C-alpha cells in the first residue's frame, strides 16, 4: 500500500510518499500553507501542487494511495478541517483522509507513537502533550498577534523593535548593522515599507530574521537577550502542559525549524528544562503524518 504524509507550517509544507513500511518513495516541498497567514486559496493551491509533485516523483497514481495523513498549522477548527478535507480530496479522491494538527504529527514522529510532550518553535510556537491516560492538550499556537512567544516571528519582531528603539535614541547596534546588510538598506526608517506590505503575510517576513538573531546571540547583548527571553517563554509552555496534564516526568521532544538542531535557542531551552541530552526525533514530522494515518485505520 502507498501512503502520503503532509506537514504544513507557516513557512514550508513538506509532502512525503511512502509504502506500508515507511520506506520513502518520494518527497517534495513548497511555501507556507497556514491558511490564517497566506489565505485559504494560496494554501490550497500550494498543498495540491506539492502533493502532485510528490506523487509524480514517486510514479504513483492518485488511485494507488490508501490514506493520507495531514497536519497543517492553523487548520484546527471545523471550517478549516472541512476546507482541508476538500483540498486533499481534489488530489486523492479515493484515499482515506486523516487530519490533525502539525503539533500532533510532530509528537508522533518524535518517537513513533502518540505520547509525551513536544515543544515547537518555527514561524510560530506551541507545545502539545499526551499523558498516560491519553488526554491531550495544546497550549500556545495563537499566531504572532496574540502570542507565539519564542517563535521565529516573535524573535524577529523583538529584534526589529530593538533596532527602532536604538534608532530613536541615536544608539549604534550590531544587530541593526547586520539586519541592514541582510535587507540592503541603510536606515531604520526603510524597515517600514518592507514590513508593512498590504496583503503580504507578516509572520514569515518577521521569522526570516530569527536565524540572524541566533547567529549573533553569543556576540551581541541585544540578540542574546532576545534568545534568552524566547527560551524562557518556550519553557513556560512546557511547564504549563506538565501541570495541566499532571505529567511528572514526561519525555520531552523539540520540534520546528528553530529547535531541530543545537543552536543558542535550543541549547538555552535544553538547559532551562534540565534535559541531559539534546532531544532528537526518530522521524521527520511528515513521517509522523503517515504513522497517524496508519493508526487511524485504512
Cα-Cα end-to-end distance for the chain: 10
Cβ contact 54:290 at 8 Å? no
Stretch 202-229: mean pLDDT: 92
d(CA 93, CA 85): 10
What is the band of 173 on the pLDDT scale with cuts at 50, 70, 90? confident
Cβ contact 97:68 at 8 Å? yes
What is the band of 75 on the pLDDT scale with cuts at 50, 70, 90? low
| CATH 3.40.50.1980, applies to 114-280 | no
pTM: 0.81
Residue 56 in grid coordinates: 509524480
Q: What is the pLDDT of residue 81?
A: 84
pLDDT single digits (tens) 22-68: 999 999 999 988 887 788 899 999 999 999 999 999 999 999 999 99
Stretch 215-232: mean pLDDT: 94
Q: How many CB atoms lie within 10 A of CB 160?
A: 19
Name the packing angle between helices 221-244 and 174-183 (round to 10°): 90
d(CA 91, CA 150): 35
* 172 has a pLDDT exceeding 90: no
Q: Which candidate, 33, 70, 27, 47, places its Cα nearest to that of 296?
A: 70
What is the band of 257 on the pLDDT scale with cuts at 50, 70, 90? confident
User: What's domain 2-111+283-295's superfamily in CATH?
Assistant: ATPase, nucleotide binding domain (3.30.420.40)
Residues of the chain with CATH 3.30.420.40: 2-111+283-295, 114-280
Q: What is the pLDDT of residue 79?
A: 77
Stretch 222-248: mean pLDDT: 95
Cβ neighbors of 175 (< 8 A, separation 6 or more) are: 159, 162, 163, 212, 213, 216, 220, 222, 223
3-class DSSP state of 120: strand
DSSP 130-179: E-TTS-EEEEE---TTT--TTSHHHHHHHHHHHHHHHHHTT---HHHHHH
Q: What is the pLDDT of residue 296?
A: 62
What is the DSSP-derived secondary structure letter of residue 220? -
Amino acid at each position: 500500500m502507498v501512503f502520503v504524509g503532509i506537514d504544513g507550517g507557516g513557512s514550508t509544507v513538506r509532502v512525503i510518499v511512502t509504502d506500508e513500511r515507511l520506506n520513502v518513495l518520494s518527497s517534495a516541498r513548497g511555501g507556507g500553507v497556514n491558511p490564517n497567514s497566506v489565505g485559504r486559496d494560496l494554501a490550497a493551491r500550494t498543498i495540491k501542487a506539492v502533493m502532485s509533485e510528490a506523487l509524480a516523483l514517486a510514479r504513483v497514481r492518485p488511485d494507488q494511495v490508501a490514506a493520507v495523513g495531514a497536519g497543517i498549522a492553523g487548520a484546527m477548527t471545523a471550517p478549516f478541517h472541512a476546507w482541508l478535507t476538500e483540498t486533499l480530496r481534489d488530489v486523492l479522491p479515493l484515499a482515506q483522509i486523516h487530519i490533525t494538527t502539525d503539533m500532533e504529527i510532530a509528537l508522533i514522529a518524535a518517537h513513533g507513537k502518540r505520547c509525551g510532550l513536544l515543544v515547537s518553535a518555527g514561524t510560530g510556537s506551541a507545545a502539545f502533550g499526551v499523558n498516560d491516560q491519553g488526554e491531550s492538550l495544546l497550549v500556545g499556537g495563537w499566531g504572532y498577534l496574540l502570542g507565539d512567544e519564542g517563535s521565529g516571528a516573535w524573535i524577529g519582531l523583538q529584534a526589529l523593535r530593538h533596532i527602532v528603539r536604538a534608532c530613536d535614541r541615536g544608539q549604534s547596534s550590531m544587530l541593526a548593522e547586520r539586519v541592514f546588510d541582510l535587507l540592503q538598506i541603510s536606515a531604520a526608517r526603510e524597515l517600514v515599507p518592507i514590513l508593512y506590505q498590504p496583503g503580504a503575510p507578516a509572520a514569515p517576513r518577521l521569522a526570516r530574521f530569527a536565524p540572524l538573531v541566533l547567529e549573533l546571540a553569543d556576540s551581541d547583548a541585544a540578540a542574546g537577550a532576545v534568545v534568552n527571553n524566547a527560551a524562557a517563554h518556550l519553557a513556560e509552555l512546557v511547564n504549563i502542559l506538565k501541570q495541566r496534564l499532571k505529567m511528572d516526568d514526561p519525555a520531552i521532544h523539540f520540534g520546528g525549524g528553530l529547535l531541530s538542531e543545537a543552536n543558542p535557542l535550543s541549547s538555552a531551552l535544553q538547559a532551562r528544562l534540565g534535559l541531559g541530552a539534546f532531544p532528537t526525533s526518530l522521524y521527520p514530522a511528515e513521517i509522523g503524518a503517515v504513522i497517524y494515518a496508519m493508526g487511524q485505520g485504512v
